[in-house]
Amino acid sequence: MLDLLIQGGLVADGSGAPAERKDVGVKDGRIVEVGRDDGEAKVTIDADGLVVAPGFIDLHSHYDAQLFWDPTLSPSPLHGVTTAVSGNCGLTLAPAAPGDREFLTRLLARVEAIPVEALLAGVTYQWESFAELLDVVEAKPLALNIGFMVGHSAIRRAVMGPAASTDKATPEQIEAMRAVLGAALAAGGFGFSTANVATQVDGDGRPTPPNLADTTEFIALAAECGRHPGTSIEFIPGSFLSGFSDDDIELMADMSAAANRHLNWNTPLINRAAPDVYERQLRATDLARERGGWVVPMFMPQNGPLRHDFKEAYVFRAVPGWADVFALEGEARVKALSDPATRAQLNASVEAETKGLAVVVRNWATYEVNDVGDPALSHLLGRNIGDLAAERGVSPFDAMLDVVVEAKLDVGFVRYQYPGDDWTTSARLNVLKDPRVVLGASDAGAHGEMMVGADFPTRCIGELVRDKQIFSLEEMIHQFCDVPARLYGLKDRGRIEPGMCADLVVFDLDRIGAGPMKTVRDLPAGAARLTTDSSGVEHVLTRGTEVVRHGKFTGNLPGGLLRSGRDTVTVTAR
């Protein structure tokens, strides 16, 4: 007798082959039958009129801390994700000697914009080594499967102490770092992750430790992955906002070649103010091939809303020339933003930039008012800044700051990643269809005051398959299931076929989508984050057990830790 029978659904098996109406039989957490089955099962799901797909795979998340207070790892499973990889951007909570724990906690909080009070209240260190961290996670029931990259910042701190944030490493220290990384990979770490982005700073405002690393250190640590099966590399180069420097392109290629493993980064930047950036970024893949490496761009494909404000201002405070204003607090900041001279200086500094963050955020007319603290300003909700500027006879930048001043900073704005103009639409399509690109880099678990990346599968299937027909159903499922599984060498995942793990999603194509962003205060210490519900996702199964039913968590926690070597196979760059 089967444990579960999913009957009569349209099965898109992940391979890209045409979907067919079939039954899927599950026993002991694995798929045992795909076809027609009229036999008995302990549980039967009627999937008539629904799509049955493999569970979606998210290769870029930051659930390193959240799993300790939220075993569902919400909202990812609500949107069909059954496997996630965390420990990205060089940030992990291990290795963690007692004297380094506060540093690592505050570093993760600052870089990934997770409220530090939530981390301090929600994470109790029960480990020192990376291997011990994996053992702790493996003992925890979870709603999905999760693997961890090994972060450069923690490795550097473990070997160099506070000097990791100030000094170049000696050859002896680099060898010691290789040993620490090697032990972590041998224990099941998925690979080496790093980032040397200057705008990423630690809890004290200093550059993150990898910003002090040189080429020798990066290549040596990447090469260590080549000694361990089923591993890979993830890297965010400091020059990615400007389309990569020649040095960074060579560095990524050489890191990949030294390990004979792929190296991935995210995300290609599409901005009509800097139209050549994404094309230069993608060319890094071709140059890497010439040097014996394999550099893989991961693209955030969904056109989801991004929230920004002038209060916490995680993004705006990093804009060149704006730091002094955000060093002011409360009324002093409001006064500065009211001052025409200060506004002129802020606008001039952002308009002077031809690359980087300023170019990404400065299209003020496209922002909308998302939330206001003062009920007297509720008439502004949903209003477009460009429209407000026209009504008031001022520039969009002034209109936006006028709203900020009226609200005394307690107002949020949203912009969509890909405005609907012809250039952006065409460029986005180019990236979506580029064979060098892997789709789906969510940042789930991070930047919760700004975005909800975890909903990328439902947003994309709703927009790109059903509404715009840019992808067929089979193509999109292939991109979100089989492609990431094969890239990371994930065993037994990514397809619906006998012998594979029964990670499955059952959804209604006519209704699938993501709901509006909403603020919830469900983090430890009552801290807030943004989240979204899903629509049309009827059933999500991890290892054959239902974790989501009709868009709600069931309370079942059948998922758990994945380890490299045991749960992955080696995929070489060559």
Predicted confidence (pLDDT) per residue in 2-42, tens digit: 999 999 999 999 999 999 999 999 999 999 999 987 779 99
> Percent of the chain scored above 70 by pLDDT?
100
Q: In the predicted model, what is the mean pLDDT of residues 354-380?
A: 90
Q: In the predicted model, what is the mean pLDDT of residues 193-206?
A: 93
Q: Is the pLDDT of residue 185 over 90?
A: yes
Report the pLDDT value the prediction gives residue 426, as an integer from 0 to 100: 97
Q: In the predicted model, what is the mean pLDDT of residues 354-371?
A: 88
Contact 219, 165 (CB under 8 A): no
Residue whose token pair is 């995942």 = 493
Furthest-apart CA atoms within the chain: distance in Å: 77
Coil, helix or strand for 410? coil
Q: Is the pLDDT of residue 355 over 80?
A: no
Structure confidence by residue, pLDDT tens digits, 111-138: 999 999 999 999 999 999 999 999 999 9
Q: In the predicted model, what is the mean pLDDT of residues 229-251?
A: 94
**C-alpha distance from residue 125 to each of 68, 131, 138 (Å):** 10, 13, 15
- CATH class as words, domain 57-304+423-487: alpha beta
With cut-offs at 50, 70 and 90, classify the pLDDT of residue 297.
very high
Report the predicted TM-score, pTM, of the whole model to 2 decimal places: 0.94
With cut-offs at 50, 70 and 90, classify the pLDDT of residue 383.
very high
Report the pLDDT value the prediction gives residue 248, as an integer from 0 to 100: 96
Q: Is the pLDDT of residue 562 over 80?
A: yes
HEC states along 123-163?
CCCCCCCHHHHHHHHHCCCECCEEEECEEHHHHHHHHHHHH
| Rounded Cα distance, 177 and 250, in Å | 22
Q: The tokens of 431 are what?
A: 């990236």
Q: In the predicted model, what is the mean pLDDT of residues 458-468?
A: 98
With cut-offs at 50, 70 and 90, classify the pLDDT of residue 332.
very high
Helices 396-406 and 385-392 cross at an angle (nearest 10°) of: 100
Beta bridge partners of 21: 10
Structure confidence by residue, pLDDT tens digits, 414-431: 999 898 889 999 999 999
Report the pLDDT value the prediction gives residue 272, as an integer from 0 to 100: 85
Beta strands 545-549 and 30-35, pairing class = unpaired
Report the pLDDT value the prediction gives residue 241, as an integer from 0 to 100: 82
Contact 228, 565 (CB under 8 A): yes
Report the pLDDT value the prediction gives residue 181, as an integer from 0 to 100: 98
Report the pLDDT value the prediction gives residue 304, as an integer from 0 to 100: 92
Q: Is the pLDDT of residue 356 over 80?
A: no
Domain 2-54+498-516+534-553 classified CATH 2.30.40.10?
yes
Cβ-based burial of 340 (10 A; exposed 0-12, middle 13-18, buried ≥19): exposed
Structure confidence by residue, pLDDT tens digits, 492-550: 999 999 999 999 999 999 999 999 898 899 999 999 999 999 999 999 999 999 999 99
CB atoms within 10 A of CB 4: 24
Side chain identity at residue 4, one-letter code: L
Domain boundaries, the chain: 2-54+498-516+534-553, 57-304+423-487, 308-416
Report the pLDDT value the prediction gives residue 255, as an integer from 0 to 100: 98
The mean of the pLDDT values for the chain is: 96
Report the pLDDT value the prediction gives residue 198, as an integer from 0 to 100: 87
Report the pLDDT value the prediction gives residue 350, as an integer from 0 to 100: 92
Q: Is the pLDDT of residue 174 over 80?
A: yes
> Percent of the chain scored above 90 by pLDDT?
92
Q: Which candidate, 478, 458, 451, 477, places its Cα nearest to that of 538?
A: 458
Same topology for domains 2-54+498-516+534-553 and 57-304+423-487, yes or no?
no
